[in-house]
Amino acid sequence: MKDTKLNTSIEFVKGIGKIRAKILKDELGLKNCSDLLNFFPYKYLDRSKNYKIKDIDSSNIYFQIIGVFKSLNYKKSGNKYRIEAIFYDGETNIKVLWFKGLSWVEKSIKINLKYVLFGKINWFDNKPSFIHPDFEKLENFKLKKIKLQPVYSSTEKLINSGISNNYMIKIIKNLFIFFENQFDENLNESINKKYKLISPNQAYINVHFPKDLKLLEQARFRLKFEEFFFNQLKFKISHHKIKSNNSGYFFPSVGSKFNSFFNNNLTFELTNSQKKVLKEIRNDFSSKKQMIRLLQGDVGSGKTIVALMSMLICIDNDFQTCLIAPTEILATQHFNSFNSALSNLNVNIRLLTGSTKLSERKIIFNDLKNGLLNILIGTHAVFEENVVFKNLGFAVIDEQHRFGVKQRSKIWEKNNPPPHVLIMTATPIPRTLTMSLYGDLDLSIIDELPPGRKDVITVSRKDKNRLKVFGFIKDQIKKGRQIYVVYPLIEESKKMDLKFLEDGYESIIKEFDINHYTVGIMHGRMKSSNKDFEMNNFLKGKTNILVSTTVIEVGVNVPNASVMIIENAERFGLSQLHQLRGRVGRGSYDSYCILMTKDKISDDAKVRIDAMVKSNDGFKISEVDLKLRGPGNILGTQQSGILDFKIANLLEDGDILKNASNEATILIKNDSKLIQNKNYNIRKFILNNPFNKSWNEIG
């Protein structure tokens, strides 16, 4: 049932042929007719307005003039010929130049006949002229009534190969002839009605050759909706499939460990958000389906306790559980806090990292296999093949953005059926990104901080005010607080004008003399035992100031630390700044984040620093980040491909995405296999469309 037209190579569209097809493929990735059809103009030129030559000014780049060619002459400079023509609009003359295709120009233009001239204005000696403009006999132009002219993106190679915008327009017109202007409906009637979507026929024609602005808008709306809809539908189908294929471990009971912890060990009241998420997880645990849940919550929002309590439910149901963190420091910290939180509960917890000793490893592997070990906390080491559980029922992955998708999926293989999975992230990303990246995960959000948390007072300071900052640090230390000072890089690099960690350490030692202050230093190249030593000193309050690189970025929790100084803050990305700031403000004290910058910083850096100073809300900050860097950069190149939409735009079309996503959810809920008659078009589109090759999920 393949729709052969969409799959046909563009080579066979009239006017393309083998050679140009190859160029179009190499330069623009256009292979088949579906590619070409969905190669949308990136802008449109307004051809509805005619200008007088005397009104041409720099307010516009493109101008359209009606008039006659009065003369057309060959001129020569060096050994190159050009054509110079004089165009006259009844009042004024303008010069028109051609450097290529001269004989064709000469043949095509008739003197003293009315033409519509359209093109870019070139300024030379304060005089405007046209170079290689479009021209068309007025009588023909009126007949066609073109107003908005599409402009397709191009490359130098395309232009040099004679593939101009006009050529693109021509072949896309031929493409429409090839399709006989018939494009299949690919949504259902209720969606079309609800969102007042115009038909695919109208949408495709008007996106390439808009009859007017309103239809262009409607065409773009429909195509964006479609694009988001099928993007979301794919996620929902795969999610649905995983859910129905993977039975999940059944943890019906909340048992003695959970209850005992809840009644005796929990020292604070859970926030409503935390309660809500726990409930969502408990629902999953008793659904007999595998849980695959993403937990988003700002730094300090209390994700760990949610994870811990869920893990207790798992243990209460006689299964093992594990927690995986991206760094040794973080894993160790989780291990320590779990140990003290669960000290009287008779839970067997062990830590496995790259530096775990062989003898300890042996015990761990043994106890994992015979089921004596309840909780394994660790780093990437847990993913390794020799880590074999007796019955892993639930895995938690902390700070997921540090792990690759492949790595994460290794945990699935640790049991059969795969364990429940909770993926936690403190990197808030805008909702639109979450939907288009993690559409196949269930989503839980903690959107409030524990009570009594105050915003971290954030300021930016120039290097020249360093002495005042040092004075402030001394005050804070006098009050019993501790200070982080973070540097962006560890070693001297001649190219970059950075204050490096070691220099910084020296200067701090000078200012804070060792008779009165203790200063620690920590960086990624240190042995992990040394790192632990430093971190522990800081945790226990033995160190006043910890000078460090970003190794402390993730998750580290020292409630007594109240000041975060970020050196060369202009060098950091927004999400990293926000993460670092999250290291303070964890106790009940007023806390501060001081962003030290050079005297002069770039505009982007200013926006970043400003956003930090203005807001403590990670989701808001992530919106700014998205605007600054675009979706691809925010998440790293790994994932950016997923975010390549052809016409939809994650920055601008969030509402369309939400609606399209809702509709996809409704559809899958009502007709998960898309077998109902009314959804025939949707199913057919998925099976036929070359964009959707990877859709083997629906059978």
Binding footprint of Mg ion on the chain (CB under 5 A): 555
Q: Which two tokens stand for residue 686?
A: 């998925």
Residue 387 Cα to chain centre, angstroms: 33
* 3-class SS of residue 370: helix
**Which of ligand ADP, Mg ion, none has residue 639 at its interface (CB below 5 to 8 Å by kind)?**
none
Encoded amino acid at 42, one letter? Y
Report the nearest approach of ligand ADP to the CB of residue 319 (Å). 23
**Which of Mg ion, ligand ADP, none has residue 557 at its interface (CB below 5 to 8 Å by kind)?**
ligand ADP
Site track for ligand ADP across 192-211, x = CB under 6 A: --------------------
Report the nearest approach of Mg ion to the CB of residue 528 (Å). 19
Instruction: Please report whether residue 339 would count as binding ligand ADP according to CB under 6 A.
Output: no
> 335 vs 505, which CB is nearer to ligand ADP?
335
**Which of Mg ion, ligand ADP, none has residue 586 at its interface (CB below 5 to 8 Å by kind)?**
ligand ADP
Instruction: Please report whether residue 428 would count as binding ligand ADP according to CB under 6 A.
Output: no
In the list 53, 68, 299, 397, the residue contacting ligand ADP (rule: CB under 6 A) is 299
Q: CB under 8 Å, gap of 24 or more: what pairs does 216-220 form?
A: 216/44, 216/148, 220/647
Evaluate whether 603 touches 627 at the Cβ level (below 8 Å).
Answer: no
> 227 vs 298, which CB is nearer to ligand ADP?
298
Measured distance CA(431)–CA(123) in Å, rounded: 46
Report the nearest approach of Mg ion to the CB of residue 473 (Å). 26
Tell me the Cα Rg of the chain. Answer: 32
Encoded amino acid at 186, one letter? N
Site track for ligand ADP across 432-471, x = CB under 6 A: ------------------x---------------------
Site track for ligand ADP across 246-285, x = CB under 6 A: ----------------------xxxx--x-----------
Report the nearest approach of ligand ADP to the CB of residue 447 (Å). 12
Buried b (16+ CB within 10 A) or exposed e, 176-214: bebbeeebbbbbbeebbeebebbebebbbbbbbbbeeee
Provide the residue count of the chain: 699
Measured distance CA(115)–CA(137) in Å, rounded: 4
Instruction: Please report whether residue 630 would count as binding ligand ADP according to CB under 6 A.
Output: no
Class of residue 525 by CB neighbours under 10 A (exposed 0-12, middle 13-18, buried 19+)? exposed
In the list 208, 257, 303, 583, the residue contacting ligand ADP (rule: CB under 6 A) is 303
Residue 151 φ/ψ, nearest 5 degrees: -125, 125
Instruction: Please report whether residue 289 would count as binding ligand ADP according to CB under 6 A.
Output: no
Measured distance CA(284)–CA(578) in Å, rounded: 31
> 38 vs 296, which CB is nearer to Mg ion?
296
In the list 41, 248, 300, 585, the residue contacting ligand ADP (rule: CB under 6 A) is 300
In the list 67, 210, 297, 520, the residue contacting ligand ADP (rule: CB under 6 A) is 297
Measured distance CA(166)–CA(163) in Å, rounded: 8
Evaluate whether 374 touches 339 at the Cβ level (below 8 Å).
Answer: no
> 220 vs 380, which CB is nearer to Mg ion?
380
> 5 vs 334, which CB is nearer to ligand ADP?
334
In the list 186, 265, 557, 692, the residue contacting ligand ADP (rule: CB under 6 A) is 557
**Which of Mg ion, ligand ADP, none has residue 571 at its interface (CB below 5 to 8 Å by kind)?**
none
Measured distance CA(278)–CA(276) in Å, rounded: 6
Instruction: Please report whether residue 305 would count as binding ligand ADP according to CB under 6 A.
Output: yes
Where does 463-612 show beta strands of DSSP type E?
A: 482-486, 519-522, 545-548, 561-566, 592-597
Evaluate whether 591 touches 563 at the Cβ level (below 8 Å).
Answer: yes
Q: Which two tokens stand for residue 659?
A: 């609606």
The CB-nearest residue to ligand ADP is 302
**Which of Mg ion, ligand ADP, none has residue 302 at its interface (CB below 5 to 8 Å by kind)?**
ligand ADP
> 23 vs 421, which CB is nearer to ligand ADP?
421
Task: Tell which positions 581-600 bind ligand ADP, by CB under 6 A.
Answer: 586
- Residues of the shown chain interacting with ligand ADP in the complex, contacts defined by CB under 6 A: 268-271, 274, 297, 299-305, 426, 450, 555, 557, 586
